[in-house]
A and B are shown apart, each in its own frame.
Chain A
């Protein structure tokens, strides 16, 4: 029994070094830079294929000026994907469960898209605040609503990622605690709970990948509006 189910989200530290530091730097070890051979090893080939795939997907809707963002969006995607998936291993720490980190990722990038739009094409960027074809009476209200929705975007990006991962980890912990506790008293119910746990783990793997994708996709969407 844990002292509290939220203990898993505080970063343990040994010798003064918090585990979150290792958790953030470890994904880099899993991405070796491909050598200068014609055919690389399987890991590098898979990795290159995957990175090409996501970069193409992200860059197709953007014009040439948006291609400057290719490196940061792709590396953000790889980082989020790997940290989310590695967090599903036992005893590991997921840095993206910390709201501070997700807001630190979301806020500057969103602000960068906003400032790019306001600097290069201010009237077009501001024009996004009013959808076409709205009745004249609704215009003031709609501008206020659209401004609020614009300003809440970084918060939504950060909180979405945090909430999804935190909820997933918490559910896994709760259901596994239920499974182990029930094993002595009602084994059949425990088996059913084990089946639920299996399905939940598959869901968590999917959520880990989807959330990374959604984060980067939304950022690229904000970029498309503003570039």
Chain B
């Protein structure tokens, strides 16, 4: 039974698990495509949380929290020596 919509145009949440591989194959992984995807993600976040009439503290707090988590992940191998233990 062919899909009602082309696989290329379905959103990620509507893709069945078995179709995931072929869905990924239809995506655009060129540098221009990746920049476009990042731009679209940024615009989605910006227009939903920041570019609203009564934006609150949550919009930038989520960005800052993500930055903290990213910094933690980036420096994990450096930070894991800081645990409390008897012998380092």
Contacts and interface: CB of A to CB of B under 8 A. Distances in A.
Contacts of A92: 67-68, 71
Contacts of A86: 64, 67
A7 B79 CA distance: 9
Contact of B50 (A7, A12, A23, A32): A32
A89 B81 contact: no
Give the most central of A32, A35, A43, A90: most B CB within 10 Å.
A43
Contacts, number: 64
A22 B74 contact: yes
A41 B55 contact: yes
Contacts of A26: 67
The size class of the interface chain A forms with chain B is: 20 to 34
B71 A43 contact: no
B70 interface: yes
Interface in A9-57: 10, 12-14, 19, 22-23, 26, 29-30, 32, 35, 41-43
The size class of the interface chain B forms with chain A is: 20 to 34
A86 B88 CA distance: 30
A30 B70 contact: no
Given A3-B88, A14-B73, A30-B60, A42 B55 contact: yes
Give the most central of B64, B68, B72, B78: most A CB within 10 Å.
B78
A93 interface: yes
B9 interface: no
Interface in B9-63: 46, 50-55, 59-60, 63
A42 B75 contact: no
A12 B80 CA distance: 12
